[in-house]
Copies of this chain bind each other. A is one copy, B any other.
Amino acid sequence: MSAGHTAVTTVGAAADEPVISCETPQDECGVRDVLDRLGDKWSVYVVVELASGVLRFKELQRRIHGGISQRMLTLTVRRLERDGLVKRTVYPTIPPQVEYELTEMGHSLTHLVKALADWSIAHRPAITAARASYDETQDVSAP
């Protein structure tokens, strides 16, 4: 990597100690799988809300701030159900009642989401500062 150039030295983190050992590039270590699932706009919200208990469709929709449409909630929850992360229970009553809850696998994902949240909260100040610094460097003020 460093071809004898005037390297600006490292940041302190050892680059020769790969945390991620990607043996199967074709599958991106499987990261893509999870990200495709959590990467969409709403899945994570649904998981977060469902993490605290069973919810019905409307209630779930109500709790998700930002206002998810019925369509997107349906699509999102269906995909999660298909992947075995959410369990959908239909009570053949009138009016119909459908309850959603995380499966065990879904709950295990919850820990990851929490890890992400923790990381985000911990580094938000640093990120904000980095952005400010970057934007300042770019100096957009000049017309």
In the complex, what residues of B have CB within 8 A of residue A99's CB? 1
Given known contacts A33-B120, A82-B134, what 17 new A-B pairs fall within 8 Å (CB)?
A1-B104, A5-B97, A15-B102, A19-B114, A20-B48, A29-B120, A30-B124, A34-B116, A34-B117, A34-B120, A35-B38, A35-B39, A38-B39, A82-B130, A84-B126, A105-B127, A108-B119
Query: Can you name 24 A-B residue pairings with CB atoms under 8 Å?
Result: A1-B54, A1-B104, A5-B107, A8-B111, A11-B101, A11-B102, A11-B114, A13-B107, A15-B102, A20-B110, A20-B117, A25-B65, A29-B117, A31-B116, A33-B120, A33-B127, A35-B38, A35-B44, A38-B39, A82-B130, A84-B129, A84-B130, A105-B130, A112-B116
- Name the interface size band of chain A: 35 or more
| A residues 52-102 touching B (CB-CB < 8 Å) | 52-55, 65, 81-84, 87, 89, 91, 97, 99, 101-102
A123 B104 Cβ-Cβ under 8 A: no
Bound CA–CA A102/B89 (angstroms): 45
